[in-house]
Chain A
Amino acid sequence: MGALGFYFDMQACIGCRTCQIACKDKNNLPIGVLFREIKKFETGVFPKSNSYNISYSCNHCEEAKCVKGCPTGAMHYGADGTVQHDPDLCIGCQYCIMNCPYSVPQLLPERNIIGKCDSCIDLRNAGQNPACVDACLMRCLHFGDLDELRKEYGEELVNALPILPSPDITKPSLLISPKTCALESSFTELEV
């Protein structure tokens, strides 16, 4: 069995942000805090330009820097190997925010602790999918055993892209079916 993680089909994503909203709703997040986010990038120069979206959240890395650095053990591996966060142990030192190369942990200003995607472990324990997975109109997101996901969606999946930090840093449990333009090293983030 491989690690558990998200699969994202970039080729099908239309950037509608339904996953982002579903996550925000499920986790009851305040303004300015997102556990899943969509970013849009452009490559090339008009009239030969292309664009792509990425939907990202915690990658539940195999060698998570947030887990290693956390001084209290609040950030830890759950029984299924996903990265979980114990709010009772969190002292709000924000070292995980400095450590995560994907800028995933977020400060929850009203609680003075941090929060992040827990891969909807409550829903998964009840046999359901994470909220973002079920919300996606285009069925771009899936969560599960990465070996199984690779078998199902093909061997061409990647976890390294020019817009992402090197996977060597934390070994992210992430599979992406990329658009060709997302492999180009020069890109610009589009504000939408």
Chain B
Amino acid sequence: MGNATLTIFSICIQASVGIVLFIAIAKLLNKEGIFKNATLVAAGLGIIGMLASVFHLGQPMKAFFALYQFSSSLLSREIWFTAIFVALVVLAALIFMLKPENKGIITGLIVVAALVGLIDIGLMGAIYSNASVPFWQTSATFVEFYMAAISMGAILFLFLSLQEANFMKKILAVTIAAAVAIQIAVVIPNLINLSISSSMAIQSSLVILSSMSLAGLFEWLFILAGAILAVWVAKDELSPSINNLVLSSAVLLLVGQTIGRYLFYAAMVVTGIGIS
């Protein structure tokens, strides 16, 4: 349950941040763009992510206590930023449904939410890379989080705004390919690097990962296939079959990143007496 709720939390929030980031960019490039579906889905993912983080707690009813230590605790800061991000996106979605003519306010909320969300992902990375889990204490943690947000956000944004985002299709495809390439270029060499580490905690993490190597294989197969499909569809004009391919690419990227995130949490080995 613990790893599953943390996986749902971080994947949903990062996908939501990614979508919001591309809505913000698209709005800056095309002032007439509405991107209603993308905004609503980003708000939904944000809410699911928040709920998952609350139900991960042993005492969900006391969740708001986590806001108390902003000045000292990275986790408290991250919870503040997640809450503000979700609140901004939900507000934008509500205005969309109730007063859609307020385009300026919606754009403002989306742009601020995108900035807050990007800081939030940095804080998520900092939470884990500062923990006493040597496997997480590398820059790969940050790269994995940001690249997951970008690749999932770009493909979901494209799928949810096919007509409106058509003008960005090629940019989005190149962005997804670049994000996946960076993720692979950093995460795989990092794993190889860790394999020669003398840390017992890291070796224990790698033993856990090797016992789940089939899941690891599917993670990268799905992510790669999703990215290749995204690039493939970008060259053609819109049609129902292309839409299905975009959906397939989104599913592949989402499932691949979700498996990867589950493995990230499953590999947690904290240092201790005799395990450094």
Contact = CB atoms under 8 A, between A and B. Distances in A.
B66 A71 contact: yes
Interface in B46-77: 56-59, 62-63, 65-69, 72-76
A101 B127 contact: no
Given A100-B132, A112-B58, A93 B75 contact: yes
Nearest to B131: A98
Choose among A74, A93, A164 the residue with the greatest number of B CB atoms under 10 Å from its CB: A93
Contacts of B75: 69-71, 93, 95
Interface residues of A, number: 40
B274 A163 contact: yes
A113 B59 contact: yes
Interface of B: 2, 56-59, 62-63, 65-69, 72-76, 79, 127-128, 130-133, 268, 270-276
27 contacts: A39-B273, A68-B72, A69-B74, A69-B130, A70-B69, A71-B68, A71-B75, A72-B68, A73-B69, A74-B65, A89-B62, A91-B58, A91-B63, A94-B2, A97-B270, A98-B133, A99-B130, A99-B132, A101-B270, A101-B272, A102-B271, A103-B270, A103-B271, A107-B58, A165-B271, A165-B272, A165-B276
B65 A72 contact: yes
Given A71-B68, A103-B270, A103-B272, A112 B59 contact: yes
Contacts of B79: 71
B58 A103 contact: no
B118 to A, nearest CB: 21
A27 B118 CA distance: 44
A143 interface: no
Contacts of A111: 58
Given A103-B270, A187-B274, 7 more contacts: A71-B66, A71-B67, A71-B76, A71-B79, A74-B65, A95-B127, A163-B273
A68 B72 CA distance: 6
Contacts of B56: 93
Contacts of B127: 95
Nearest to B77: A71
A21 B79 CA distance: 39
Given A103-B273, A163-B273, A92 B58 contact: yes
A170 B197 CA distance: 22
B56 to A, nearest CB: 7
Contact of B69 (A72, A97, A100): A72
Contacts of A162: 276
A66 to B, nearest CB: 10
B274 A72 contact: no
Contacts of B65: 71-72, 74, 89, 91
A44 to B, nearest CB: 16
B68 A98 contact: no
Given A91-B58, A101-B132, A41 B69 contact: no
B73 to A, nearest CB: 5
Interface string A144-171: 0000000000000000001111100100
A102 B273 contact: yes
A107 B1 CA distance: 14
B83 to A, nearest CB: 12
B179 to A, nearest CB: 27
A84 B75 CA distance: 19
A170 B57 CA distance: 26
Contacts of A70: 69, 73, 75
Choose among B58, B67, B133, B273 the residue with the greatest number of A CB atoms under 10 Å from its CB: B273
Contact of A91 (B62, B268, B272): B62
Contacts of A114: 58
A133 interface: no
A189 interface: yes
B58 A164 contact: no
B133 A71 contact: no
